Structure 1
Amino acid sequence: MGLNYRRHADDLEVQQPKGAPGSYLRPNSTVIGYGDEILLPSQSERITVEAELGLVIGSTCRDVSADDAESVILGYTTVLGMTAEDVIRINPRHIPWSKAFDTFCSLGPWVVTPDEIPELSAVRISAVINGRTIWSNAVSAMMCDPHWFVGYFSGSMVLETGSVIATHTPGAGVVQDGDVVEALVEGVGMLRNRVRQAAPLAGYGASPRRLRRAAVSPRSRPRRGRTAQDMEKHRWTSALPAEPRSSARPRPAWAGPRPRRWPRKASK
C-alpha cells in the first residue's frame, strides 16, 4: 500500500488520496528474509526504507468483508519495504517499478496470530537506521485500517494463501551502502537487514536520468530502416564465417544438372 499515513504523503510533497490509499504489487524476486542483504540498484541515487505491518492471508478467499477479515488472516508480520524515491519524483507513474527491484521487500521473521494482539489499533510501528529511530506511529493513525485492506482487495481479486498485504509506513528514511535497517512492530517482532550497493548493470548509467538502452557498437549498428527482426538477425549472422562471393554457387550432386534457360519470346 502507499500513502496510508498522511505524514508520509507530506514528506513526498503529494496529496494523500481520498477514499483509498495507493496500491501496487511486488514481484517474488523482491522478497528476502531476516539478515539477508538489501541491494541498492545503480539506477537510483535515493533509496528509502520503510517499516510496515504486514497481513498474512491464511486461506484463499474472495469477496470478504472487512468485518470478516480476521477469519482469513493467518497472522501479522514485520515488513521492510524499499523505494527508489528519485524515480517517483521524475514520473509518479513509475511507482510500481520503483518498488520492484530485487531484495526490496524483507519479511518476517515471525508471524503472530490475531488472538495474540488484543488491540491492533494500538500497535506501534517504528523504522530504525543504524540504531536511530527515524519514524514511529500507531496503526490508529492509518487512513484505512488493516482489515479494510482485506475487504478492498478481495473484492477485486482472489487472495491466495500466503499473500502478504503491507499496510504502509509512517515515514521513510534514506539509506546508503553499509547501513543496518530495522523494522519494529510492537507485539509482532523486529526485522533487521544490512544494505549493500549492488554492482552496476552493464550498459546502464547510475542515475534514472541517464537510463537508456545499451549502446550498440558502430560495427554492429544496423543501417536505418531495418526492423527489430533485422537487427536480431544481423546480431547473430555477424559472427558467422563469410560466404564466398562467387555469383555461381556450387550445385549439390543430388539436384542434377542445372536446367537450361530458354530465351523469352518477344511480345507482339
Structure 2
Amino acid sequence: MKLLRYGETGNEKPGLLDPHGDLRDLSGVIGDIAGDVLSDAGLDRLRGLDPHDLPRVEGSPRLGACVGDIGKFCCIGLNYSDHAAETGAAIPDHPILFMKANSAIVGPNDKVMMPRGSTRTDWEVELGVVIGKTCKYVDRAQALDHVAGYCVVNDVSERHFQSGLTGQWTKGKSCDTFGPTGPWLVTRDEVPDPQALAMYLDVNGKRMQTGSTSTMIFSVAAIIEHLSHLFTLHPGDVISTGTPPGVGLGMKPEPVYLRSGDVMELGIAGLGHQRQEVGQDT
C-alpha cells in the first residue's frame, strides 16, 4: 500500500493511493497515519478495504508528510561508502546518529526556506524508515519485522551551522522546512529489499546525486538493531538512513550550495518523487 496525508498544513487527512493512482480518503476509517495504524494489525485492516468504497479526492491537493505525529526523527550520517569518500571522511565503526527537530518536517513538495544568513544550504536524498512496532534490544535478523514502511526524505542541511558552529550536527539539520518527507509511506511488503533501491536528486534539472541503498555501510536492519540497543523505537519514529554521493559539499573543485529560486527534484525507486522550490528567510 501507499499511504499518504493530504490537505492544508496542520489539517492533513489520511489517504491512500489506489491501484490506478487515484487518491482515496481514509478519514472515515482512521484518524491519521500514525500510532496503531502503523502496526501489522492496523495495516492489515487497511489492506482489507476496497479502495473503490473510499471517497475519491478530486484535484491535486497539497501532500503533507506521509506520517503524522512523528515521535523521533533519527538520522544516520556518513552511511554510504561512496559519500564518505567524497567528503574525505573515515568509515565509521558504528552508525553516526544525530536528531533532526520535528519542527523541520514538511510535505514532499513544500517550499524549503534557507535560514537567515545561510550561504551553505545543501541537499541529501535519503531512504526514510518508518517504525511500526515498538522495538528494544532487537537483533538485525528480526529488525525489519518492526518496520511499517519506507519513504523518501530530503535531509536538507546548512553546512556552516552543522560544522562551523560549536556543537552537534543537529544545528545544521533542524532548520524549519529542512525535513521534506513523503510523498507516501510504502508498506514494507512492497519493498522486498530495502538495500536494492536506486535513488537520485536533481538541482535545476541537473543530476547531482545518483546512488543506491546497496552502498550503505550499515544496512537498515543493522541501524535498527543498533538504535534499539540505545533506546526504544516507537511506532511513528522515522529513521533517515544517510545519503549517497553528489551533495553540494563534495563538489570539486569547489562546493556548490543552494540559492533562492533553485528547484530540487528527488526520488527513490518505488517510493515516489519530491519537488521543492528554495526560498530565503529574511
TM-score normalised according to structure 2 size: 0.66
Question: Which residue, 80, 86, 111 being the options, matches 1:5?
Answer: 80
Q: Which amino acid aligns with 1:187?
A: G
Deviation at 1:127, TM superposition (A): 1.4
Question: CA–CA distance in 1 between the matches of 2:263 and 2:118?
Answer: 19
Look up the SS of the partner of 2:195 in the other structure.
helix
1:45 to 119, 122, 140: 119
- Given candidates 109, 112, 115, the residue that maps to 2:183 is 109
Q: Corresponding residue for 1:73?
A: 147
The reply to whether residue 186 of structure 1 matches residue 266 of structure 2 is: no
Q: Which moved more, 1:50-59 or 1:187-196?
A: 187-196
Higher-strand-fraction structure:
2
**Counterpart contact for 1:30–1:105, Cα < 8 Å:** yes
Structure 1 position 45, deviation (Å) = 1.3
Instruction: Name the CA distance, whole Å, in 2 between partners of 1:7 and 1:193.
Output: 25
Q: Residues of 1 paired with 2:111 and 2:154: CA distance?
A: 12
Distance 2:97 2:174 in 1: 13
Q: Establish whether residue 133 from structure 1 lines up as the match of residue 226 from structure 2.
A: no
Residues 160 and 119 (structure 1 numbering): CA distance in 2 closer, same or farther, change over 3 Å?
closer
Q: Answer yes or no: is the 8 Å Cα contact 1:79–1:107 preserved in 2.
A: yes
Equivalent position SS for 1:182: strand
Structure exhibiting the larger radius of gyration computed from Cα positions: 1
Find runs of 4+ consecutive structure 1 residues off by over 3 angstroms: 91-94
Q: Specify the code of the residue in structure 2 equivalent to 1:16.
A: I
Counterpart among 85, 89, 95 of residue 159 in structure 2: 85
Of 98, 105, 114 in structure 2, the residue corresponding to residue 24 of structure 1 is: 98
Cα distance in 2 between the residues matched to 1:184 and 1:193: 12
The answer for the alignment partner of 1:253 in structure 2 is none
User: Which 5+ residue runs of structure 2 have no aligned equivalent?
Assistant: 1-75, 249-256
Please state whether the residue corresponding to 1:112 is helix, strand or coil.
strand
Structure 1: which amino acid aligns with 2:206? R
Instruction: Name the CA distance, whole Å, in 2 between partners of 1:120 and 1:26.
Output: 22
Match of 1:175 among 252, 258, 264: 258
Superposed, 1:134-173 pairs within 5 Å as 134-171=208-245, 172-173=247-248
Contact 1:80 1:182 in 2 (8 A): no
| Identity over aligned pairs, percent | 32
Distance 1:44-1:11 versus aligned 2 partners, 3 A rule: farther
2:83 aligned partner, one-letter code: H
Q: Distance in 2 between matches of 1:38 and 1:45?
A: 14
Q: Which AA in structure 2 matches 1:7?
A: D
Cα distance in 2 between the residues matched to 1:35 and 1:96: 23
8 Å Cα contact 1:61/1:160 also seen in 2: yes
Q: Distance in 1 between matches of 2:91 and 2:159?
A: 17
Matched residues in 1 for 2:259 and 2:220: separation?
A: 31
